[in-house]
A and B are shown apart, each in its own frame.
Chain A
Amino acid sequence: EAGVTQFPSHSVIEKGQTVTLRCDPISGHDNLYWYRRVMGKEIKFLLHFVKESKQDESGMPNNRFLAERTGGTYSTLKVQPAELEDSGVYFCASSQARSSYNEQFFGPGTRLTVL
């Protein structure tokens, strides 16, 4: 079974540019989460999809961040325009049904550097 995949693995952009990160969850996983780890700090929640619907986007830092999950499959996270403080590692995770505990499977992350 393929795990969670993310693309690209690294991205270096200049302040003011746009970047789009992609996450492909494990097939059949309805729950998809985006997290971010800024250097030296904890992994922080950004938002949660259940299928194609945004269940919780309370962690999104501001309106420069836009997440979508078309058709309830893969998800994209767009940062526009990027700022220096957006640098960090963006992780995607997926899990199965929410009625009972199911572990979240994480992707390898996208390392974003904004110069």
Chain B
Amino acid sequence: GQSLEQPSEVTAVEGAIVQINCTYQTSGFYGLSWYQQHDGGAPTFLSYNALDGLEETGRFSSFLSRSDSYGYLLLQELQMKDSASYFCAVRERAGTALIFGKGTTLSVSS
């Protein structure tokens, strides 16, 4: 079957660094994506990894290890506005739909 596991909740303070892990088990693998969702609104694309290694986009970085079926999203210099739900998602083949994890709720406090 298909499954993506990520922690349900993470808490941190402003200015801190937090890492959200994701392990996946799928029949195929074309890439791992991360999405952010505020208050049940539209999920917004954050990053994508198709190859092993680290991708950096501003304060956010994403890592992938295909041999371990594992990835993480790293958020640095946390701000209150980063409080949201974060979803990892796998695409099994090019152009196909995303398979989502259940999401991690990040709460950032001052």
Does B40 lie within 8 Å of A48, measured CB to CB? no
Report the interface size class on chain A.
20 to 34
Chain A residues near B97: list those with CB within 8 A.
33, 35, 45, 48, 56, 59
Q: Which of B42, B44, B91, B94 neighbours the largest number of chain A CB atoms within 10 Å of its CB?
A: B42
**Tally of B interface residues using CB under 8 Å:** 26
- Is B33 positioned at the interface, with any CB of A under 8 Å from its CB? yes
Show 26 residue pairs from A and B whose CB-CB distance is below 8 angstroms, ordered by the A residue. A31-B95, A33-B97, A35-B98, A35-B100, A42-B100, A42-B102, A42-B103, A43-B103, A45-B99, A48-B96, A48-B97, A56-B96, A59-B97, A91-B42, A98-B95, A99-B94, A100-B94, A101-B31, A101-B50, A103-B33, A103-B48, A106-B35, A106-B42, A106-B44, A108-B42, A109-B41
Chain A positions near chain B (C-beta within 8 angstroms): 3-4, 31, 33, 35, 41-45, 48, 50, 55-56, 59, 89, 91, 95, 97-101, 103-109, 111
